[in-house]
Chain A
Amino acid sequence: MNTAVAHEADHHGPPHGLKHWLFSTNHKDIGTMYLIFALIMMFLGGASAMVIRLELFHPGIQFLEPDLYNNIVTNHAYLMIFGAVMPAAAGLANWMIPMMIGAPDMALPRMNNLSFWILPAAATMIMLSFVVPFFPGGGSQINTGWTIYPPLSLKVGPSMDFLIFGIHLLGISSVLASINIIVTIFNMRAPGMKLMQMPMFCWTWLVTAFLLILVVPVLAGGVTMLLFDRHFGTSFFDAAGGGDPVLFQHLFWFFGHLEVYILLLPSIGALAMIIPTFARKPLFGYHSLVGAMCVVGTLGMVVWAHHQYTIGMSLPAVNYFMIGTILISIPVGLMVFNFMATMWRGSMTFETPMLFAIAILIMFTFGGLTGVMLAVVPADIQYHDTMFVVAHFHYVLLPGALFGLFAAVFFWLPKWTGNMYDEKLGKLFFWINVLSFNLTFFPQHFLGLAGMPRRIIDYNVMFTEFNQISSIGAFIFGLSHLLFLYIIIKTVRGGKKATPQVWEGAKGLEWELPSPPPFHSWTVAPQFKPAD
């Protein structure tokens, strides 16, 4: 049977048209679909962010109703985290991991198809949760933010149920994709490739996949309990029935804090491929980087309550969570150090991926350092739930996750398409993007310190100046992504032909394949020769 199927595929090739994509089990196709999906979601999430900044450009309520504002804030988070960054990282994994480890495809190709095609359904649910209140009988809007804390979330109309089911679907998709990645990495490496010789990108994704499997079910459990409280008369989170609203916060942040590392690690892995390539020098501290990632994953799982210092925990508990959180700076510091040491005494050139990598190092370090400030409990009492926190996590997540993905796309786009992207436009995009990012989020630190809470639609006039600077930055930042889209489309349509190696300093199995790689690559497993 198997040979018959293989035989048929050889003769006729993959199906054409819609079926090609709908039924595809090819890791490259699925990777492409993930990336396109993520790009669409990024534009939707970005549009919602620009609406938020438009409303905040001036004190007063100009464009939105307060509930609609909160709804957009909620939607922005879900679209960006679950719609853009996680699928984009999964897309990179799909494309690159089999090529990097010398595997013909992912280990479980049909499950791969399923884990992608759940996503559009999940995205539909999430967008319905946004749209439903506009219809008669649709109930109130989701005015809770992405944290959906009860009791507030218990009072929201049916759109909250759409969101809960959307989260369930996203969770299933992520867990399936994670299982696939783990099985692929454990079983399908080229002969001779030991775990500790894998490209770093595979390592970061291996750790990420384990984290996902460990924490996503906790979120799913939490939102299911919320669903039961809403409809089936339980009171897990209602003090009147013997429950505790804070319990949900613990469940949410047990997932939520690890989620930050889930978003970061794949991009860190991409950086670990990019920096040695353009420094023309092996990665500094391969073993310590693997160790640091495992430590980040483990420590990250036991520090969640630093998101909730103000809920009234006991002194020993806050002290533990404070010290645990501060200690995360050790593995993260080691990662940053290793990247700096990889650049040190290299022979660097500065193509777009490398420019992004250097900017990420600086901005992510800054975001991480404000994270240390936030970990200190007495000071966090002042920062908590202010714009300072908003600035902090955008400094972590945009450089750490999103810019890493941009760098990765520029790095691997020639490999995927066989065409070089326009370097001039790439650099132009880099400068506009990074400068306007800083213009958007740096002033928000001051807003927070001066006393502006987050998630408010209207603010006192004393916060006007920095909000206006931030909004102007946000408009430039948002629009700059149209240039990104243009560069991608232009590269897909044509351009200077790329060599198999693409970059002068590139090393690894994926660069031995032609650019673009054939539909089925590594049908014969390559012999892996470890670099020293």
Chain B
Amino acid sequence: MKKFVMGMTAAILSLLAGVSYAEYGLNFPEPATPIARHIFDLHMLTSKIITILLIIAVAFILYSVYAHRKSRGYQADQTMHKGWFGTWSWILVPAMVLGVDLTIAGSAQKSLVDMWEAPQTRCTAESKPDDKCYDMIVKVTGHQWWWEYSYMDEGITIESRYTPKEQAGDQYLRAVDNQLVLPVGKKIRFLHTSADVNHAFWVPELGMKKDAIAGYITETWAELDRKGTFRGQCAELCGTWHARMPIVVAAVDQSEFDTWVGKKQQAMQLALAEASADKVWSKDELMAKGKETYDLKCAACHQVSGEGLPPTFPALKGSVIAKGPVAAHIHMVLNGKNVMPAWNSMNDLELAAVITYERNAWGNDTGDVVQPADIKAAR
């Protein structure tokens, strides 16, 4: 037994000492908003209170175990429960606990009101720094298994997916392709919703976690007070790849943010122009574009190999849909079915490319070429 315990201890110590490939955390990461700071303080306060209470309880128990034992010849006090303490403890103990309870509940009130009431009006030139108003709105939509961020005023929508291990390295599962870029010092109102199942948006440094529920909109708000990269994850079990829904916030200066917005707007306009141009694309062009889009958006379920993960995610390689009539294939991608989401948010070019790719890759070789015009007609 003794050997066993010592062996285990040695194993654990060597684990603690030997493994050094990443910083490990013991507590919340450093907050980046005033509310997250309040939460941190509140967390430290309650932690201290419960530590003290636990120490008191354990001290009484251990003293009792030490002193009031038969082997020391201690005689049990058979009348203790009938004394004044036994008579009145039922009211004394709850009164003391109530005192602690009220301390805790009371100290939570300010930050609760602060965080819970998301600003409902837009800030104006006359707004004071402490006013409850917002400067910008970001709509966060959870998808299986990626995040969509819409900057409502700027007209930008970005899609954020996890970065595969080869590129992410040590940040794997905490790194994404497109970060949520936010300006420091602005009051940001977040609207949360979901396109499919429940998700939860959580970034510890921002002190916010909110469920994304299909058909409903929930709100939070944040005012970043320092620059940095803040990493979180989806916090509500959302199916197969729940572990692969990281959230990365890049908090930047206003000027940096404006530059970034400008670039994004330009890129979106270019993509839109390309997609809506009345151009007939060649099969090779569509296949190249299609592979890019497929690997990004479809491969999480149907796999890069097109073999899927049956039975939940059917194979596309040799499938009835991918080798059958083109119209049915377009209909499926546009409208979805069961677990398959409706992909009508993609533009005509992307859809045409993906469908062309699916009909010709992995030996499907139907030879069909789907043009953006076909998609437009099918919508």
**B partners with A:** yes
Question: Which residues in A have some Cβ–Cβ distance to B below 8 Å?
Answer: 59, 65-67, 70, 133, 137-141, 143-145, 147, 149, 151-152, 155, 157, 238-240, 244-246, 279-288, 291, 308, 310-312, 315, 318-319, 322-323, 326-327, 329-331, 333-334, 336-338, 340-341, 343-350, 358, 361-362, 365-366, 369-370, 372-373, 376-379, 381-382, 384-386, 428, 439, 446, 449-451, 453, 455-466, 468-469, 472, 476
Of the residues A149, A369, A457, contact of B198 by C-beta under 8 Å: A149
B208 within 8 A of A: yes
Q: Which stretch (B237-245, B255-263, B268-276) binds chain A?
A: B237-245
Question: Which residues in B have some Cβ–Cβ distance to A below 8 Å?
Answer: 1, 8, 11-12, 15-16, 19, 21-29, 35, 38-39, 42-43, 46-47, 50, 53-54, 57-58, 60-61, 64-65, 68-71, 74-78, 80-81, 86, 89-90, 93-94, 97-98, 100-101, 104-105, 108-109, 111-113, 115-117, 170-174, 192, 196-198, 200, 202, 204, 207-211, 213-216, 218-219, 231-244, 309, 311-312, 338-339
B93/A462 in contact, CB under 8 A = no
The smallest C-beta distance from B225 to any residue of chain A, in angstroms, reads 17
| Contact partners of A346 in chain B: CB under 8 A | 64, 68, 74, 76-77
B12/A464 in contact, CB under 8 A = no
Q: Which of A145, A322, A333, A386 has the most CB of B within 10 A?
A: A333
A469/B15 in contact, CB under 8 A = yes
* Interchain Cβ contacts under 8 Å between A and B, 26 examples: A65-B309, A67-B309, A144-B237, A151-B214, A155-B338, A244-B215, A310-B209, A329-B101, A331-B94, A333-B93, A334-B93, A343-B61, A344-B68, A345-B77, A347-B76, A348-B68, A361-B57, A362-B58, A365-B57, A369-B50, A369-B54, A378-B42, A449-B25, A460-B174, A462-B24, A465-B19
CB contact under 8 A between A330 and B116, given known A312-B213, A455-B237, A465-B15: no
CB contact under 8 A between A152 and B213, given known A283-B81, A312-B219, A378-B39: no
B11/A385 in contact, CB under 8 A = no
Nearest A residue (CB) for B46: A373
| Contact partners of B234 in chain A: CB under 8 A | 453
The smallest C-beta distance from B143 to any residue of chain A, in angstroms, reads 13
The smallest C-beta distance from B272 to any residue of chain A, in angstroms, reads 29
| Contact partners of A462 in chain B: CB under 8 A | 22-25, 170, 174
With A and B bound together, what is the CA distance between A436 and B237 in angstroms? 28
A285/B90 in contact, CB under 8 A = yes
B81/A282 in contact, CB under 8 A = yes
With A and B bound together, what is the CA distance between A370 and B26 in angstroms? 16
Nearest A residue (CB) for B35: A378
| Contact partners of A449 in chain B: CB under 8 A | 25-28
With A and B bound together, what is the CA distance between A463 and B54 in angstroms? 27
CB contact under 8 A between A70 and B89, given known A281-B76, A344-B80, A373-B43: no
| Contact partners of B104 in chain A: CB under 8 A | 326, 372, 376
Nearest B residue (CB) for A316: B116
B105/A322 in contact, CB under 8 A = yes
CB contact under 8 A between A341 and B89, given known A239-B214, A283-B81: yes
CB contact under 8 A between A246 and B57, given known A326-B101, A341-B80, A382-B204: no
Of the residues A287, A361, A439, contact of B61 by C-beta under 8 Å: A361
| 6 A-B pairs with least C-beta separation | A239-B215, A450-B25, A312-B218, A288-B90, A369-B50, A456-B243
With A and B bound together, what is the CA distance between A376 and B349 in angstroms? 50
| Contact partners of B24 in chain A: CB under 8 A | 446, 450, 462-466
Of the residues A138, A287, A310, A340, contact of B211 by C-beta under 8 Å: A310
| Contact partners of A461 in chain B: CB under 8 A | 21-22, 170, 172
| Contact partners of B23 in chain A: CB under 8 A | 462
| Contact partners of A147 in chain B: CB under 8 A | 237
| Contact partners of B309 in chain A: CB under 8 A | 65, 67
With A and B bound together, what is the CA distance between A451 and B233 in angstroms? 8
| Contact partners of B214 in chain A: CB under 8 A | 151, 239-240, 245
CB contact under 8 A between A326 and B105, given known A281-B76, A311-B211: yes
With A and B bound together, what is the CA distance between A279 and B69 in angstroms? 8
| Contact partners of B60 in chain A: CB under 8 A | 340, 344
Nearest A residue (CB) for B58: A362
| Contact partners of A365 in chain B: CB under 8 A | 53-54, 57-58
Nearest B residue (CB) for A286: B81
B213/A284 in contact, CB under 8 A = no
With A and B bound together, what is the CA distance between A323 and B76 in angstroms? 39
The smallest C-beta distance from A245 to any residue of chain B, in angstroms, reads 6
The smallest C-beta distance from B31 to any residue of chain A, in angstroms, reads 10
Nearest B residue (CB) for A465: B24
A152/B237 in contact, CB under 8 A = yes
B101/A67 in contact, CB under 8 A = no
The smallest C-beta distance from A322 to any residue of chain B, in angstroms, reads 6
Nearest B residue (CB) for A385: B235
A379/B243 in contact, CB under 8 A = no
B70/A347 in contact, CB under 8 A = yes
Instruction: List 17 other contacts, CB 8 Å, given A311-B213, A376-B105.
Output: A244-B216, A282-B78, A310-B200, A310-B211, A310-B236, A334-B94, A348-B74, A361-B57, A373-B43, A377-B108, A378-B38, A378-B42, A378-B108, A460-B22, A460-B173, A465-B16, A466-B24
The smallest C-beta distance from B180 to any residue of chain A, in angstroms, reads 16
With A and B bound together, what is the CA distance between A56 and B173 in angstroms? 14
Q: Which of A145, A376, A379, A385 has the most CB of B within 10 A?
A: A379
| Contact partners of B238 in chain A: CB under 8 A | 152
B65/A348 in contact, CB under 8 A = yes
CB contact under 8 A between A334 and B90, given known A310-B200, A456-B242: yes
B197/A151 in contact, CB under 8 A = yes
B108/A66 in contact, CB under 8 A = no
| Contact partners of A322 in chain B: CB under 8 A | 105, 108, 112
The smallest C-beta distance from A436 to any residue of chain B, in angstroms, reads 9
A451/B237 in contact, CB under 8 A = no
| Contact partners of A382 in chain B: CB under 8 A | 28, 39, 43, 204, 207, 209
With A and B bound together, what is the CA distance between A269 and B254 in angstroms? 62
With A and B bound together, what is the CA distance between A219 and B35 in angstroms? 36
With A and B bound together, what is the CA distance between A93 and B1 in angstroms? 36
Nearest B residue (CB) for A73: B237
| Contact partners of A139 in chain B: CB under 8 A | 311-312
B68/A345 in contact, CB under 8 A = yes
A281/B237 in contact, CB under 8 A = no
CB contact under 8 A between A459 and B243, given known A245-B214, A284-B86: yes
